[in-house]
Amino acid sequence: MAAGAPRIFVSHLAGVPVFDPTGDQVGRVRDLVAMLRIGGRPPRLLGLVVEVLSRRRIFLPMTRVTGIESGQVITTGVVNMRRFEQRPTERLVLGEFLDRRVHLVETGEEVTVLDVSIQQLPARRDWEIDKYFVRKGKGGVLRNSKGRIALSWRGGGGRRGGETLTVGWSAVSGFSLEEEGQGAESLVATFEQLRPTDVANALHHLSPKRRAEVADALDDDRLADVLEELPEDDQVEIIGKLQEERAADVLEAMDPDDAADLLSELPDEDKERLLTLMRPDDAADVRRLMSYEERTAGGLMTTEPIILRPDATVADALARVRQADLSPALAAQVYVCRSPDETPTGKYLGTVHFQRLLRDPPYALVSSIVDSDLVPLTPDTPLPAVTSYLAAYNLVSAPIVDEGGSLLGAVTVDDVLDHLLPEDWRETDLHGEEEVGGGR
């Protein structure tokens, strides 16, 4: 970039695509790496942490960045695929700078860092941090009239939570100190558009301290979705640092089978205490799941599939299938049962597949198109038999029925894969290489 290039605020870089010179996407920006310097000089920007398509996080030096513009980063095309490992002298800009409380040098007043800007030095390929967008006092991020986070509001007097202003690096102090109780609202704002699995991957690479702060800043539903995608060790660590009442709320928001798996990793006294704090209906579902052996259909199933009564119509079924919070596997079919229509249900009558719903008129009753030929699984069906059942009949989910003919739940292909893959698969690249250290 030429001298005098405009400064770039780092919140605008979170998640932007990285392309090579031919236009092929290399990955997406997940963080920036800076090095603090002595003598009051601004931190030098060393490079970007880029998540490549295999979900591996690599280091991209700024010397290999040829352009940052229009929501994209262009590289020279030469990329070292070795996994990024943070060095002791380095700081992650998004992970460690945002939400940090520092002080204005001139007045000593405490401010919170909402964003950081970077700029390329004239006639050089070096980059450095040059400005901070801060808010006086304590508080979260700015929100616009629709309630959405608006980190792009720069400077001026903030209408919420104190005045905001943009200051130079030398105008603040406190970045070299380890801060207790650092907030996470601005960092969470950079996660807003990410899928839960990508947020989980980001959390996994943060320090335990920062991971707890981000978990505290996420709302219950979002944290529940993210916990379901984390390795068991991270799940236990995070749930153990939450206040018990909030931990119970988050467990209620998780899918019952995932909540059961997480609780099974806790000491008995902690498990029972959290179950007692949960709503009775949610706790009952989780207790029922925990009563089955782990590698059986009962231990794998979710207790919340789509259940309809025989007099429901195709239109009713399609309305349920369209619910945004359903996974694709659960939305692939509905289960027709007599009342009650919550698990354990009345008599299970059969399944209606999504494709069949698309072929029949909206007014048709689901009982008239139900598939009752397939024999449902029992809760004690072992994992290999569950896998063979799904493969043999080309299904992505299957009903689980007890001896009395009541539907207990459904087992989905994603839960089967979770138990077929190695225990540490969430910490392994999609192409199969395990996570390793090794600098750059």
Mean pLDDT (whole number) for 269-276? 94
pLDDT at 212 over 60: yes
User: What is the rounded CA–CA span in Å between residue 327 and residue 196?
Assistant: 12
Mean pLDDT to the nearest integer, 394-406: 94
219-291 CATH, one of 3.40.50.970, 3.20.20.70, 1.25.60.10, 2.60.40.10: 1.25.60.10
Closest of 400, 403, 399 to residue 379, by C-alpha: 400
Per-residue pLDDT band for 29 (boundaries 50, 70, 90) equals very high
Residue 399 pLDDT greater than 60, yes or no:
yes
- CATH code: domain 307-420 is 3.10.580.10
Average pLDDT over residues 430-436: 43
pLDDT at 3: 46
- Do residues 375 and 292 lie in contact, with contact meaning Cβ atoms separated by under 8 Å? no
Long-range contacts of residues 283-288, Cβ cutoff 8 Å, at least 24 apart: 285/256, 285/343, 286/251, 286/256, 286/259, 286/260, 288/408
pLDDT on residue 155: 39
Place of tokens 């931990």: 247
- Ordered by start, the domain boundaries in the chain are 8-89, 95-186, 219-291, 307-420
- Same topology, domains 8-89 and 219-291? Answer is no
- State the pLDDT confidence band at 388, using cuts at 50, 70 and 90: very high
Top mean pLDDT of 59-68, 124-133, 134-143, 255-264 is at 255-264
Query: Which of 84-88, 106-110, 201-205, 383-387: highest mean pLDDT?
Result: 383-387
The pLDDT tens digits for 83-123 are 888 877 788 999 889 988 888 988 889 999 999 999 888 75
Closest CA relative to residue 75, chosen from 67, 83, 86: 67
Overall average pLDDT of the 66-72 stretch: 84
- State the pLDDT confidence band at 381, using cuts at 50, 70 and 90: very high
Residue 439 is predicted with a pLDDT of 45
Q: Kindly tell me if the per-residue pLDDT of 267 is higher than 60.
A: yes
Distance, CA of 352 to CA of 311 (rounded, Å): 13
Thinking of the domain 8-89, which architecture would CATH place it in?
Roll (2.30)
Mean pLDDT of the chain: 84
The percentage of residues in the chain with a pLDDT greater than 70, rounded to a whole number, is 85
How do residues 111-169 score in pLDDT, each as one tens digit?
Answer: 999 999 998 887 566 888 989 999 987 554 444 433 334 443 333 444 456 789 999 88
For residues 23-47, average pLDDT:
85
pLDDT on residue 353 = 94
- The C-alpha atoms of residue 440 and residue 437 are separated, in whole angstroms, by 9
What is the pLDDT, as a whole number, of residue 394?
A: 92
Instruction: Name residue 104's amino acid.
Output: L
User: Is a pLDDT exceeding 70 seen at residue 410?
Assistant: yes
> How many degrees, rounded to 5, is the angle at CA 217 between CA 214 and CA 220?
110
Sheet with 333-337, strands from edge to edge, namely 307-308, 333-337, 348-353
Confidence grade of residue 71 (pLDDT, cut at 50, 70, 90): confident
The average pLDDT across 197-223 equals 86
Q: Return the pLDDT at 245.
A: 87
Q: Are 357 and 322 in contact (CB under 8 A)?
A: no
Task: Kindly indicate the confidence band of residue 64, based on its pLDDT and cuts at 50, 70 and 90.
Answer: confident
pLDDT band at 325 (very low <50, low <70, confident <90, very high): confident
* 103 CB burial (10 A radius; 0-12, 13-18, 19+): middle
Residue 431 binned pLDDT confidence (cut-offs 50, 70, 90): very low
| Lowest-confidence region among 109-123, 179-193, 315-329, 359-373 | 179-193
Looking at mean pLDDT, say which of 41-50, 132-141, 405-414 comes out highest. 405-414
| 304 against 147, higher pLDDT | 304
What was the pLDDT predicted at 413? 92
